[in-house]
Structure 1
């Protein structure tokens, strides 16, 4: 017997949701999303942090392979001879440039020229590498958690435009910076002139010094080997993150990465050793003068791209990831004793003994 229209309508009504039921379901879904979202974000950050750690490990492997090949550590190549009046203060390649072949970027490296060129493109000498620099992007040099820009737009000099460059071209900014020493001696929060009188440092836009893991090749400092790291490779910081904004006390922020200036990742800047030399500037390296992730102190050496005191910063909550000299990667918390332990970790031969873990 066929069902009546009324029976069919009743059956259809039983399978439909009321407005209240729909609202309840939507509310439940909203609560579940709210509960799961932090866990998803945490998992994503854990994956990004792992990738950042892997980047540092790759850089560490490249440094060790470079040392095996050339019997010295990579370094910033600064102005290496006596300057004559009227001579341009050209910039050489950075340590990030010289390890490109060890990061499977040999083809790009082989296209570069190292004579008659200015890597920072700020003088009357053309940057003959402008084209390869503008096209080259190494993912290993950027932390995936960083919110900072990955490119700077370099203004080509007249000399560089004369060889075919456009007025502006992009260059990669790195999120990793090499340690070249410490500001105050380990165990002290007071500045000392001893290293200047010993010939290991010069006062010029910050300290260009020979106390840290990586060195600067210029008219004073020469090549260095692992054997010079007397404190042990395991106890010496080689490279750390600078992948987060520098914050002021009023909440404003700025990019203070040591590799954000002219030439970005690929330039060392002149790095000249001389008392009071205006061109004693360098890039992509740091001498931490203030604790990790600290607020802006008001001192100009903390935020200029060609000084040594920019320090280390990270987007990872609670600390910064570091590559140690032995190739291992360690997460060092912001609460570490800066004057004693952290400063000592940035020295390669300070022989400072500490008992606390880090």
Structure 2
């Protein structure tokens, strides 16, 4: 009897490894075929490109202990319930229970692991397909534009767009708390600059530790605050732009730059705005955007500018090193790419929160 049980267990184990080996072999065959069909450079980017993505994003990742614990607890409960369910199904379907090997815990663990891998694989396949389609159809195609540190412009644009979306989410979370957007910059009664809109958003950008280090009773340039504002803030830096101030931009005394600025018509000196006061509609009003010149430090309270100065036309306006225009964050949290040839009237309508001008297509 014991020999029969051992043989049955060996058979089950053999079938399990066969079930795992077949998909792995199929995936390997697909990769081989892809290498034969597509240019080697594209296959290399697909297989190794994740490394550069991790380098860019891993410093921004934060792990929530509470959410992690909740996920692990839920997964444990699911595994336990699944194991009990499988044992019950086995006992009900077996006509001769004495000859059947009881359902093993490791079988349940193996199946749950496979379910997780399949779910993650499905999400990855969908994401990769969507990203490949976007990179193949966007204005800056991955097949045509690989330069600047070997990173395609399409990937840099995607990262910068993601940065603006994160800023937009933080602005709306701040608005939910205080019923208005943060002021563009705080200034004391004598007009001396104190702190920027970015500083006020730190708790909503997963930077609570950085926020708690700041002495708000002193200006951002005070000696006690210097080390904090010399911290490199990756989310505020656009790919392809220098991570430090250049000589042409003057001496920034070690402070780190922000490649995004606020719309001075919405966030300005000691002035924030309630969404209810944006009469032109949040989807038709610029909150912030990329900048390529006249760059300020991320802690500088004067880090806001007027979009009506034009796109890539003035050091006081918005712009980027991306071909043809720049990304802007709208009041509804969406990010749009504005052409540098946009009609000045449309740009003005997008810049004013309650100007009443018709926006039209942009």
TM-score w.r.t. structure 1 length? 0.56
Corresponding residue SS for 1:311: coil
Stretches of structure 2 that go unaligned for 5 or more consecutive residues are: 1-39, 41-141
Q: Deviations over 1:208-264 (max 9, x none)?
A: xxxx222321xxx4x421111110100001111103xxxxxxxxxxx422x1xxxx2
Compared CA separation, residues 324 and 52, structure 1 to 2 (3 A): same
Of structures 1 and 2, the one with the larger relative CO (CA 8 A, separation 6+) is: 1
1:266 correspondence with 2:299: yes
Indicate conservation of the 8 Å contact 1:178/1:214, yes or no: yes
CA deviation after TM superposition for structure 1 residue 75, in Å: 1.5
What's the secondary structure of 2:326's corresponding residue?
strand
CA distance, structure 2, for counterparts of residue 107 and residue 354 of structure 1 = 41
User: Could you say what secondary structure the match of 1:256 adopts?
Assistant: coil
Partner of 2:196: 94
Question: Aligned match of 1:144 in 215, 239, 242?
Answer: 239
SS class of match (2:240): coil
Normalising by the residue count of structure 2, what TM-score does the alignment of the two structures yield? 0.55
Runs of 4+ in structure 1 off by over 3 angstroms are 36-43
Structure 1 or 2, whichever has the larger Rg, is 2
Q: What is the rounded CA distance, in whole Å, between the counterparts of 2:228 and 2:151 in structure 1? A: 36
In the other structure, the counterpart of 2:266 is: 213
What aligned pairs does 1:165-184 form with structure 2 within 5 A after superposition?
Answer: 170-180=254-264
Q: Find the aligned partners of 1:229 and 1:171 in 2 and give their Cα distance.
A: 33
> Is the 2:284–2:359 Cα contact (8 Å) retained in structure 1?
no
Q: Could you tell me how far 1:151 is from its partner in structure 2?
A: 4.2
- The one-character-per-residue Cα deviations of 1:12-53 (angstroms, maximum 9, x if unpaired) are xxxxxxxxxxxxxxxxx9xxxxxx984544971111110010
What is the root-mean-square deviation in Å for CA atoms of aligned residues?
Answer: 2.6
Note the 1:15-26 alignment, pairs <5 A: none
Taking the TM superposition and a 5 Å limit, the aligned residue runs for 1:311-326 are 311-326=317-332
- Given candidates 220, 228, 234, the residue that maps to 2:277 is 228
Distance 1:118 1:39, change over 3 A: closer
Which residue number in structure 1 is paired with residue 336 of structure 2? 330
Q: Is the 8 A contact 2:289 2:318 kept in 1?
A: yes
Instruction: Tell me how many residue pairs correspond in the alignment.
Output: 217
- Consecutive unaligned residues of structure 1, counting only runs of 5 or more, are 1-28, 30-35, 84-88, 154-167, 181-211, 244-254, 269-282, 295-301, 304-309
Partner of 1:345: 350
Looking at structure 2, the residues matched to 347 and 105 of structure 1 have their Cα atoms a distance apart, in angstroms, of: 30
Alignment map for 1:106-125 (pairs within 5 Å): 106-115=208-217, 117-119=218-220, 121=221
Greater strand fraction, Structure 1 or Structure 2: 1
What is the SS of the residue equivalent to 1:230?
A: coil
Alpha-carbon shift at residue 149 of structure 1 (Å): 4.6
Residue 57 of structure 1 deviates from its aligned partner by 0.3
Taking the TM superposition and a 5 Å limit, the aligned residue runs for 1:1-358 are 38=144, 40-41=146-147, 44-81=152-189, 83=190, 90-115=192-217, 117-119=218-220, 121=221, 126-134=222-230, 136-146=231-241, 148-151=242-245, 170-180=254-264, 212-217=265-270, 221=271, 223-243=272-292, 255-257=293-295, 259=296, 264-268=297-301, 283-294=302-313, 303=315, 310-338=316-344, 340-355=345-360, 357-358=361-362
Helix, strand or coil: the match of 2:337? strand
- Secondary structure, in 3 states, of the residue corresponding to 1:143? coil
Question: How far apart are 1:71 and its partner, in Å?
Answer: 1.6
Q: Distance in 1 between matches of 2:178 and 2:359?
A: 33
What is the SS of the residue equivalent to 1:332?
Answer: strand
Contact 1:152 1:173 in 2 (8 A): no
Q: How far did 1:290 drift?
A: 3.0
Partner deviation per Cα, 1:269-303 (whole Å, 9 max, x = no partner): xxxxxxxxxxxxxx210013532112xxxxxxx54
Maintained 8 Å contact 1:213/1:325:
no
Deviation at 1:91, TM superposition (A): 1.8
SS across alignment from 1:132 = helix
- Paired residues of 2:325 and 2:337 also in contact (CA < 8 A): yes
CA contact (8 A) 2:328 2:336 kept: yes
2:171 and 2:181 in contact (8 A); partners too:
yes
How far, CA to CA, are the matches of 2:308 and 2:273 in structure 1? 23
